[in-house]
Chain A
Amino acid sequence: MSELSLTIIRVAFLAVLWLFVIAAIGVVRTDLLGSAGMPRRVRGSRQPQPLRQPRPPRPGRGSPRLLVVTAGALKGTSVDLNQQQITLGRANDATLVLHDDYASSRHARIFPQDGQWIVEDLGSTNGTYLDRQKVTRPTPVPVGVPIRIGKTVLELRR
């Protein structure tokens, strides 16, 4: 084997080794879970629509677009609001699963109606509070007013 061909093999091996590393990084990049950054975003919808489909008509300027957790174990988490309801509770099937000892399995839900977002307590043990008021019937939620569930505080943001 001549010196030249050995040198070519040597450099080619290094090139392929690096190609492998780059391919691996490419896999990381396309990995859907891998691309999620902090803070986490939970999809508001249970059935996310493919991105290419036209989105439902966007609500007006003034209406909220995010539900943000401002205190509690999930602090920093936000949920995109679209036209689906959001369920809150400790149950695994809730849109926002609360790891909160004071929350019930199915604690409350937040749903849109006539351009407003309504919070409704689902018979929780410790109650849901809108600002300081206990929620006893479905109540409209203004933007920026805290909703308290146990130690978790959420609010709507534009």
Chain B
Amino acid sequence: MSSITARSPAVDPTGPLAPAVRGRRRTELLMLVFALGLVAFAFANVGYSLKGRLPSPMAEYLGVFAGLVLVAHLAVRRFAPFADPLLLPLAALLNGLGVAMTYRLAAQGNLLSVRMSPSATGIQLVYTAVGIGCLVAVLIVIREPRMLQRYTYTLGAIGLALIAVPALLPASISEVPGTGAKVQIRLSSFTVQPEEFAKLALAVSFAGYLVAKRDVLALAGRRVLGIDLPRARDLGPIVAIWVASLLLLVFESDVGTSALFMGLFVAMLYIATSRTSWLLLGFVMFVAGAFAASKAFSHVGERFDIWLHPFAGQNPSHNAYQLVQGLYGMASGGLLGKGLGGGQPYITPLVQSDLVFTAFGEELGLAGLMAILLVYGLIVQRGLRSAMSVKDPFSKLLAGGLSFMLALQVFVIVGGVSRLIPLTGITTPFLSQGGSSLAASWILIALLVRASDTARRPPPRPIQEEGVTQVVTLP
């Protein structure tokens, strides 16, 4: 199963293979400059709308952000020279738009349900620095994605522990005020959302587990209605994850994360075994479980009621107030939006974190939302592309799983705020205010960058003169 990439010193990067596998770092730099320009434009737009002039601290914010992005670019240049040229600029654009939106909301921070001080923009930039720091650290430490395969079970245990901790802690420490969701750990004024990191650990763990077990899981059992169902005895893992995700739903009241874990596992199972039956099975199990939970537990049932009847009875002014205000916000944005700084996104509770997408919808309109969704889509496409071209099965599964997870997370929150599925308190990657989410998103990008670098690295030159001693260095 394992193959060793032998890199002989005779490999000449400017050899005849070079044109086909050029690193494309210059394209990346160009796109990064473009992204920075857009972020600057966003800041300027906010300033002109709110104050009629360029925001005074704009130069400092942009300078810091540009510096951070440059550090990330240099790190990729140094440690992942063959990486995909788009992953970093796309992520940087989203992060920059998030910072600009934080600045825009903090400028009217006293109108928000959870107040924001004007220093929030600076804090968000510090979080960005932490996120970029994570990116650089991952690129330095993890030289090959399959290094992580060694820690399959360690990371699985860490991931489960991180998810379980908030449920076990008292509500005063772990509950997000006003939502009833127990997903964070509060230490004085500083909060961490462990699930953001748990999902990365679990993605690595699932990849390692499925590489080892996929041959068994791909075995077909009975054939029903043209679909090969798996054998009953192979259902163990999926049932275990299903139970875990339902426990998460019941004890942390967190439909989004619960769907994310189940979806991640099922999607990776599908990638590993290419059996559609797992997808069907997983979907049916999750929907049935969630439905049963909504009947059995009132706090889960309330979420479903908000989703199905937001405008009924007391809902619009009480339980469904957040969702309804988000919908009104997006509706008032219309096709082209009110312009950054022109709307009233501060009416929606928690608009800076969970419902940031509605703020973008109100101020950039449907046109802006579609562009943002396409940026996410492109990140996912580049990730899946790397997964397809990388050779070893662990990296393939990891890159595929992480890309899918990003897509699913965006789906869960965007579907939530647009009432396609029940709204849950899950962050929008890169756009939401908050450090845990930002750091975790940058780690995800770092892993995809690493996978794409491995996938696109030119193969070692074939041994042409037999008999000449080759010096082989193992990474």
Contacts and interface: CB of A to CB of B under 8 A. Distances in A.
Interface of A: 1, 5-7, 9-14, 16-18, 20-21, 23-25, 27-28, 31-34, 36, 46-48, 50, 87, 90, 92-94
Interface residues of B, number: 53
Contacts of B38: 13, 16-17, 20
B45 A13 contact: yes
Contacts of B208: none
Nearest to B85: A27
A15 to B, nearest CB: 9
Contacts of A9: 44-45, 48-49, 339
Interface in B329-349: 336-340, 342
A13 B42 contact: yes
Question: What DSSP secondary structure best describes chain B's contact surface?
Answer: helix
23 contacts: A9-B44, A9-B48, A9-B49, A10-B340, A13-B339, A14-B364, A16-B37, A20-B31, A21-B371, A23-B34, A25-B378, A27-B86, A31-B84, A31-B85, A32-B21, A33-B385, A34-B385, A46-B462, A47-B17, A92-B3, A92-B6, A93-B459, A93-B462
Nearest to B338: A10
Contact of B27 (A11, A27, A33, A47): A27
A43 to B, nearest CB: 8
Contacts of B89: 24
B337 A10 contact: yes
Contacts of A25: 378
A77 to B, nearest CB: 13
Contacts of B45: 9-10, 13
A87 B464 CA distance: 12
Interface string B56-99: 00000000000000000000000000001110011001000000
Contacts of B44: 9
B378 A16 contact: no
A92 B37 CA distance: 43
A105 B378 CA distance: 38
B448 interface: no
> What 8 A-B pairs come out closest when comparing CB atoms?
A10-B339, A93-B462, A47-B16, A1-B52, A17-B371, A21-B374, A14-B367, A1-B48
Interface string B11-25: 000001101110010
A27 B385 CA distance: 14
A1 B339 CA distance: 13
A44 B141 CA distance: 36
A5 to B, nearest CB: 8
Nearest to A48: B20
Nearest to A14: B367
A52 to B, nearest CB: 12
A108 B342 CA distance: 69
Nearest to B373: A21
Contacts of A27: 27, 31, 85-86
Contacts of B459: 92-93
B5 interface: yes
B336 A11 contact: yes
A32 B17 CA distance: 13
Interface string B372-388: 00110010011001000
A139 to B, nearest CB: 23
Contacts of A7: 339
Nearest to B455: A33
A34 B21 CA distance: 12
A24 B32 CA distance: 11
Interface string B434-475: 000000000000000000000110011111000000000000
Contacts of A24: 31, 86, 89-90, 375, 378
A36 B388 CA distance: 11
A26 B42 CA distance: 23
